[in-house]
Amino acid sequence: MTTLLIALGTMIGYLIAYHTYGRWLARKIFSLDPSASVPSIELNDDRDFVPTDKSVLFGHHFTSIAGTGPIVGPAIAVMWGWLPALIWVFLGSILVGAVHDFGALVVSMRSQGQTVGDVAGRVLNRRVRFLFLFVLFMALTIVLAIFGLVIASVFKQYPSSIFPCLVQIPIALAIGIWLHKNSVSLLVPSLLALGTMYLTLIFGNVGVLAQVNQTMASWSVITWVLLLLIYSYVASVLPVWSLLQPRDYINSLQLITALGLVVVGLVVAGIAGGAAHDGGNRMPLEISAPMFRPNPPGNAPSVIPFLFITIACGACSGFHCLVSSGTSSKQIKCETDAQFVGYGSMLTEGFLATLVILACVAGLGLGIENSAGQWVTGEDAYLARYGSWDSASGLGAKVAAFVDGSSNFLQAMSIPSGIAVAIMGVLVASFAGTTLDTACRLQRYVIQELATTITQNQNNRGGQGLSLNPLKFLTNKHAATIFAVTLAFVIAGLPKGTPNVSLGEAWNGEIPAAALAANPSAGSGGFEGITWWLDEFTGKGGLLLWPLFGATNQLLAGLAFLVIAFYLWRRNVPVWFIVIPMLFMLLVPAWAMIKDIPRWINSDEPNWLVIVIGSITLLVELWMIIEAWLLWPKVKGVMELTENDLAEEKKRSRASTP
């Protein structure tokens, strides 16, 4: 019953927060005006700037910010006990994350749809703009390099999710064209899309399709990374209404209905117990994990500060400011929609993270198979997944804990095990996919802005043309996108560690005995040997940089808060409500990075790439904070220059240059 009360209590709490704190922010702080002009209408180009119904935009925004973050983060953080994770998710999403997302959306919307990095150049200064864009570039590079691996890993772990995820693309294209060409209600296309997707989910792993899924699941990770990055390129350069927007929208329909099923299943399990196993009695739904476990075995880091960077999405994530200011601000068709899209999406993600926590600490207890193939329940089931920090590491273990726990909720409603697992597998893979294609579009914007900044600086010094500025070509959207996906592919293709088998040896079937035990077909050499080598040693290069992402992502949230605070401060709007979240998101991730760097240096095999980039990131943050500290007392009530003002200033600068 405790599990059920937590789920219902947090849901009610989020609804109250939306209609109280969220409404106060919308009306008293940001003064949203339904008659105000917005970039999607002013700058409508039918490609990036497209006025969009708030329901469709909510779907795009929610699925883009969510990704696998609110699943993977909470699924590992419950190692420290369920209470710290639950408190950070609930309070963090209301007081920190939703304020961050909402604020970034409004500030960008009122700045002609500029990214938060570009806005930093006006509300602070140009140096901060360049530094901010550099941090954005690094964060998005890591996301693009790693998320292909994430999706490929989910496909390999849950082959039944492959066909339902791939078929979303043609469905989205059809829906996008239909809605763009015809002014029709969303109801009919929504029902058709939702019905079709669930049919593919139920029947997408039967007969020939099951064989197709298994074949594609056997593809190497690097093959999947290549295909997914090619798709991301296409999705990034197409008009937003044709693929990105409708795919995110129909995904949101499927994902929210899946979450609804989880909630209903949780209620059923809370009242009647879980599904009976092998004719036994229904297992009562109880929390099997400890409330607080500050020192879990297996080299676990300290709960503070690492809880706050382990759970990012679901509480607060810097990546969200990129979505708010990169794509969503260009599609808002009415200012007052910003509360629903920005604040509401983050609360929905917080509730998703809450369900993940409950699935891992209570759903698992309804029964799973342990590594020995034995059926275990209660605390034994929890310890089978969370016996030690080392045993719970790795993407597969985290995803499996959520999928197994949440599918137990579905099975309590008599949904067959195979379909329940497929629903949850598709949920994870779909969230990852929507983040990947959105991140690619965002990286394209960042690269174009960086290239434009460098080009303008070069021209201001008297340089003209491509010969003096080799980065000018990156101001083109196709060139910027190709650069983004190529860089991500190169990083992903780097071997993680030193291969102990050459490509030639793999071709000849000279595979170590330990590897042959898990992959007998690799011993035949040829294509099978090459496939094994590619899967074993490539596609995982993003993991080299992944240790940086948690702290870097959260530092980005702190810097976005800094930009929002300056925007409000210049307008004499109260900033007291944002100062504490801003300081928290600047100091805690830096604290985690400072603790990490010595550990990385003293490891048996130091990752100097991570150490150097992490150190540079800390220095960049310190530089930006110093710039902000010096500027803060001078700008209260002083409006920043507009883009037209900046253009005039550049003209005067050129004219005065001898």
Residue 446 lies in a domain: yes
Residue 261 lies in a domain: yes
317 plus 437 within the same structural domain: yes
C-alpha separations of 570 from 124, 427, 583 in Å? 10, 42, 19
- Same domain membership, residue 524 and residue 477: no
- Among 439, 461, 494, residue at a domain's last position: 494
Instruction: Tell me, yes or no, whether 324 and 352 share the same domain.
Output: yes
456 plus 526 within the same structural domain: no
Predicted pLDDT of residue 645: 58
DSSP bridge pairs for 20? none
- Residue 658 pLDDT: 45
**Enclosing domain of residue 514:** 503-537
Is the distance from CB of 538 to CB of 220 less than 8 angstroms? yes
Question: Which of 459, 494, 529 represents a domain boundary (last residue)?
Answer: 494
Give the domain-ending residue among 433, 468, 494. Answer: 494
514 and 385 share a domain?
A: no
Residues 187 and 109 in one domain: yes
In a domain, 369, yes or no: yes
Q: Is 143 exposed, middle or buried (0-12, 13-18, 19+ CB in 10 A)?
A: buried
Give yes or no: residues 115 and 176 share one domain. Answer: yes
Burial 523-554 (b: 16+ CB within 10 A, else e): eebeebbbbbbbbbbbbbbbbbbbbbbbbbbb
Do the domain assignments include residue 583? no
- If asked whether residues 136 and 258 sit together in one domain, one would say yes
Dihedral sign from CA coordinates of 277, 282, 286, 290: negative
461-495 confidence digits (pLDDT tens) = 555 444 456 678 888 889 999 999 999 999 988 87
On whether residue 53 sits in a domain, the answer given is: yes
pLDDT at 342: 97
Residue 511 in domain: yes
pLDDT of residue 595: 92
pLDDT at 496 (0 to 100)? 67
Q: Are residues 419 and 511 in the same domain?
A: no
Q: In this structure, is residue 226 part of a structural domain?
A: yes
Q: What is the pLDDT of residue 657?
A: 44
Does residue 526 share a domain with residue 468? no
Number of separate domains in the chain: 2
* pLDDT in the model for residue 506: 79
**Token couple for 101:** 């997302």
Question: Do 374 and 419 have their domain in common?
Answer: yes
Residue 606 resides in a domain: no
The amino acid that residue 623 corresponds to is W
* Alpha-carbon distance values, 657 to 125, 388, 650, 651 (Å): 21, 65, 11, 10
- Structure confidence at residue 457 (pLDDT): 63
CA–CA gap between residue 443 and residue 138 (Å, rounded): 9
pTM score, two decimals? 0.91
- pLDDT under 50: residue ranges of the chain: 464-467, 653-654, 656-658
Query: Which pLDDT score, from 0 to 100, does residue 238 have?
Result: 92
CA 412, distance to chain mean position in Å, is 30
Q: Are 484 and 513 within one domain?
A: no
What is the reported pLDDT for 40?
A: 95
132 vs 134: CA distance, rounded Å: 5
What is the distance between the alpha carbons of residues 183 and 174, in angstroms, rounded to a whole number?
15
CB-based contact 552:142 (threshold 8 Å): yes
